[in-house]
Amino acid sequence: MKKLRHSELLDIRGNGTDERKPHDRIYDYDVYNDLGNKRPVLGGEKRPYPRRCRTGRPHYTQGQDESCRADTDWETRATDKIYVPRDEAFTEIKEAAFLRELVLSVGHSLCTLKFKDMEDHKSQSFPSLAAIDALYEVDFRNQPSQSQPHTHAEIAGVMIGFVVDELERLLHGAHLPEEICRFLKFETPEIHDKDKFAWFRDEEFARETLAGMNPLSIQLVTELPIVSEVDGPSLITKELIEEQINGVMTAEEAMRRKKLFMLDYHDMFLPFVHKVRMLEDTTLYGSRTLFFLTGDGTLRPIAIELTRPESQDHGRRSSPSPTKDEWRQVFTPGSSVTESWLWQLAKSHVLAHDTGYHQLVSHWLRTHCCVEPYIIAANRQLSRMHPIYQLLHPHFRYTMEINAQARQMLIDAGGIIESAFSPGRYCMELSSVAYDKFWRFDMEALPEDLIRRGMAVRGEDGKLELAIEDYPYANDGLMVWDAIKQWASDYVKYYYPGAKDIIDDHELQGWWTEVRTKGHEDKKDEPWWPVLDSHESLVQVLATIMWVTSAHHAAVNFGQYPLAGYIPNRPTTTRKNMPPEMGGPDSKEMRAFLEEPERVLLDTFPSQYQSVIVMLILNLLSSHSSDEEYMGTYQELVWRKEEKIKEAFDRFKSKMVDIAAQIDKANMDPKLKNRNGPGVVPYVLLRPSNGHPEDEKTVMGLGIPYSISI
């Protein structure tokens, strides 16, 4: 048996040569060298990055720019299906559900974009806020589908003769019947359904840093003055802070009492500002946003600082202009109409930064991208009957397939992410910088992440104390984290009675060594990698992986369309500079702003084309397939065969049901203003399934899937 296990593992690893075929079951590593023409290679000393699955396809021309793919290869790329090992491919049910959502999303987009030639209209702004509202069918709510076709034939039956013919007519300039247009309008995002003006409110802007789709960036302010490693002290001074909080305490006291919090995209975005501004119809700043924790447990935004660094400004011309001085300004909510509109514009820029960072770092990098090496290493080093493979198997389902599809149409050169999210064609480079500077495996567990951001401290009893008591993501997440860790602990205790059993398990040690030295090769020498030499260290490693693939991903994924499907609530990019940057009160830009501030805001938002493309992909990414496996409900067959493991899983399942009940109770508590109140969307992204996801009323409340499957 040992020989057979070893032989199978050797076959799975392959020989590192040849192009992989669809029938292959070979797992190997490669850098991200397939993103498209003139995109840099991600992975290696120059641009550190996790490794992906090797496909063996040719990628480069033999020229001076080794990162440039052959143009002929790039042109045929859209029709290629990127290899994944056959065991990682979608099942027919999953493929059909994914295709159904994709077809309907494309239908939404084509019905909305009534242009003969979309290329000529990519920069067209919405004419009014009412035009944005018209994208949605008022009676079509963002709810789970009650029935989903399961085969390609059924999908074709739904579309052929009913929609496809009409879409073909549309492409030739004809109008669709009203009934079809209504069918193909977008669902009303939950945020817009609950409160039509939520996007404009400072309260909602702040609340979503704690209970939105990116609650992983808010951090405690621990030093005043705020200082950048790139360009020195911030313009958000102690005096400005005290003025904005009406002198109720000094700035130092507010910091000491943990009242000041920040979204900091200053140092991360600043190096990309001038490069992005050389692109058409887009702009970028570095930004800081400061919040004050009020007495009722909610955050209040008090200042936004936007910065354009000093640079040789090449603009969009062939020859450079003289060096431009740095421009930076702090915006506050203000008391005048002008200040209020400038504040709204500044918020739009911050939201674009937060949404771009969410998509590239909180979502893609920290879940999809960093998890793929764990999967490759597990298949190369752990036999199928290994207990750790059997524990992690449901957490790896479909991830390599969905990552391959992302490389093909989302994160590729000129793909949806580059086309509609900040910072444009530099999106993947930004995620590489984040990986290089900030990613650490030992900080990916929820408690450690909260502590790193100053959002929690560990008390003498070992329990976490949150800096903000009403922090829905952390409140719910810590309950789920504890349940996952206990389940992993019970599992490990059964199979590994002592530390020596862990140390002597050559397959287990080989897996973890390969994760570090091959999957995350660019960080292989970092001192923070855990060593698998005890029950606690193995449990922490397994729980971290299980958390990232399930709850972390659910928290950043399934709220995307419900919260960002209404573009003004979370614009993904900005296209116009702030009016004060462009000149004094007599400048053309300031005069246009004073005459039509709403027009300037609409021109700052993503274009019609970008908005609809974003809505298409967020609608797709926020969906659940009909064969989803939810944490606490689904269990592997082998778990049932061992009585002790079955008992441990039953305890885990019971705990998850209890957590769901506690979350339901919290969402009804009027004292918890970050999750309850008029027009407030309840926080259910980390609510486990009660065993019957089909009974849930919203996509966000369906449950926590085990794996990154969408």
* Size of the chain, expressed as the number of residues it contains: 710
- Whether the predicted pLDDT of 7 surpasses 50: yes
pLDDT per position as a tens digit, 228-285: 999 999 999 999 999 999 999 999 999 999 999 999 999 999 999 999 999 999 999 9
Q: What is the pTM of this model?
A: 0.91
Decide: helix, strand or coil at residue 330. Answer: strand
pLDDT per position as a tens digit, 599-652: 999 999 999 999 988 998 998 899 888 788 999 999 999 999 999 999 999 999
Separation between Cα atoms, residue 649 and residue 651, nearest integer Å: 5
Give yes or no: 386 in active site: no
Given 59, 274, 358, 368, the catalytic residue = 368
Given 266, 395, 553, 624, the catalytic residue = 553
Give yes or no: 577 in active site: no
Given 475, 557, 667, 690, the catalytic residue = 557
Q: Which of 460, 486, 488 has the alpha carbon at shortest distance from 390?
A: 488
Given 155, 376, 567, 710, the catalytic residue = 710
Structure tokens, 86: 């056959």
pLDDT of residue 391: 98
Q: How many of the other CB atoms lie within 10 Å of CB of 220?
A: 18
Give yes or no: 152 in active site: no
- The alpha helices in 160-284, defined as continuous H runs, are 164-171, 178-184, 190-194, 202-211, 238-244, 251-256, 266-269, 273-277
Separation between Cα atoms, residue 240 and residue 504, nearest integer Å: 60
pLDDT (mean) for 532-553: 98
- What type of residue sits at position 487? W
Q: How many of the other CB atoms lie within 10 Å of CB of 294?
A: 13
CB burial class (10 A; 0-12, 13-18, 19+) of residue 668? exposed
What does each C-alpha distance from 327 to 192, 219, 285, 422, 442 come to in angstroms? 35, 25, 10, 20, 38
Poorest-pLDDT segment among 299-313, 353-367, 464-478: 299-313
pLDDT of residue 76: 42
Give the torsion sign (CA, 136, 564, 658, 705). Answer: positive
pLDDT (mean) for 351-358: 98
Q: How confident is the model at residue 316 (pLDDT cuts 50, 70, 90)?
A: very low
- What type of residue sits at position 409? M
Give yes or no: 710 in active site: yes
Q: Are strands 52-53 and 29-30 parallel, antiparallel or unpaired?
A: antiparallel
Q: Give the largest CA-CA distance in the chain.
A: 83
**Class of the CATH domain delimited by 217-352:** alpha beta
Give yes or no: 358 in active site: no
Give the torsion sign (CA, 651, 556, 81, 520). Answer: negative
pLDDT per position as a tens digit, 403-444: 999 998 899 998 999 999 999 999 999 999 999 999 999 999
Asked whether the bond before 225 is cis by omega within 30 degrees of 0, the reply is yes
User: Taking a C-beta distance cutoff of 8 angstroms, is the pair 227, 233 a contact?
Assistant: yes
Please report where in the chains the tokens 């990628």 appear, as a residue: 59
Phi, psi torsion values for 300, nearest 5 degrees: -125, 120
